[in-house]
Amino acid sequence: MQSIENLKFLTKEQVRNLASTFGTPIYVYSRRGIELSCEKALSFPNAFGITVRFAMKANPSRTVLEVLRRKGIHIDASSEHEVRRAILAGFKPQEILLTSQQLALGLKDLVQSGVQFNACSLKQLEEFGKLFPSGEVSIRFNPGLGSGATKKTDVGGKTSSFGIWHEDLSKVQDIVQKYSLKVIRIHTHIGSGSDPEVWKAVAHYTLEIAAKFPNCHTVNLGGGFKVGRMADEKTTDPQVIGVPVKELFQKFEKEHGKKLKMEIEPGSFLMVNNGAIVSRVDDVVSTGDGGFTFVKLDIGMDVNTRPALYAAKHPLVVVSKEENATRAKGEVVYVGHCCESGDIMTQEEGGGPRTVVTEIPNIDDFVVMEGAGAYCSSMSLKNYNSYPETPEVLLDLEGKFQLIRKKQTLEQVVQNELLVPL
């Protein structure tokens, strides 16, 4: 049975103040927490230098990006749109690596501006060669192994379309030779929430590939470091998993006479537990003997789709509306406000309700969903049921809350719709 969870960076008084000042639902991020996570990532053990790139898809909020930029973090962009958004946020093109499933339509302009390109397929590599013969390029390989918290977050091995299959190395070399390309970076990424042991094994394979390209000076090992959201989950310690990988780089230098720089691309690691959602209890209903007690929140898959998509677990903490009020503990199921049977905040993998033990809230009490700093706001089903985009605030270093994203208006929801003559 799940243990009672606690607030990670907010106090109950702050939760009430947030709700009173900004209303619910609302995202809140901790600047202090983000900065501490950056420092941990930047101290990742390395032999000959390290660059930390933020997997921007995790949370592209403008103020979040500014906090990361000031800490010296670079960008891992998953689309040309993220590239342009990062530049708008103040990142230099040279600080951005584009690793995209879809070939960027504006690739030529982006690369000419200084953006670094990571070819993720033979087609992408060929197209880059046509545009930039004798150019410098990075290549993403699928190393044949994958690891993720779920099958849906595993991006390596035969079931994944990400990267060039490792057995196609000779085809890569043919294209490189055809266009006189200089391969300066080899990249692999195996999944989100990956097994540290698999990650270390893939690091070894990645270095073997890097040895095939004489101009390679950087090896990018991706991200996916496990972050424990729930109290019974462990978070990857960079100091533990980094040491054997550092030794691999040192061994490579002895064998090949080359000091390779390391890159990592954390998304969750920098943000997960530095963000939360403050929601309000809209209703509590029961389905009788043998059924469930359902707590209906004013958030749903339009605010955080991870529970519906992955059956992801998030800590849920009840904060009573009144100070010093007590609530009995019991088993409940938390559900969202969308008119969708799959909008269950606590669900079994594959669907269906999963009970959790919390204080049993009253209507209008608050429930804080923790572990919501990454892949929540950015990946939500915005505007489903026409709910407006959720506002966001930053808890600054002085303990004050600053609005960093306004609540979307109805006019903004429909602003791109056109009524044609009928």
Residue 227 CA to residue 235 CA, distance in Å, equals 4
Say which amino acid occupies 16: R
* β-strand pairing of 26-30 with 275-286: antiparallel
For residue 60, is the peptide bond before it cis, meaning its omega torsion is within 30 degrees of 0? no
Length of the chain: 422
What is the SS3 assignment for 234-256? CCCCHHHHHHHHHHHHHHHHHHH
- In sequence order, the β-bridge partners of residue 26 are 278
- Residue 397: burial class (beta carbons within 10 Å; 0-12, 13-18, 19+): exposed
Q: Encode the chain in three state secondary structure.
A: CCCCCCCCCCCHHHHHHHHHHHCCCEEEEEHHHHHHHHHHHHCCCCCCCEEEEEEHHHCCCHHHHHHHHHCCCEEEECCHHHHHHHHHCCCCHHHEEEECCCCCCCHHHHHHHCCEEEECCHHHHHHHHHHCCCCEEEEEEECCCCCCCCHHHECCCCCCCCCEEHHHHHHHHHHHHHHCCEEEEEECCCECCECHHHHHHHHHHHHHHHCCCCCCCEEECCCCECCCCCCCCCCCCHHHHHHHHHHHHHHHHHHHCCCCEEEECCCHHHHHHHEEEEEEEEEEEECCCCCCEEEEECCCCCCCCHHHHHCCCCCEEEECCCCCCCCCEEEEEEECCCCCCCCECCECCCCCECCEEEECCCCCCEEEECCCCCCCCCCCCCCHHHCCCCCEEEECCCCCEEEEECCCCHHHHCCCCCCCCC
User: Annotated catalytic sites, by residue?
Assistant: 339
- State how far the Cα of 45 lies from the Cα of 216, in Å rounded to an integer: 20
- Residue 402: beta bridge partners? 394
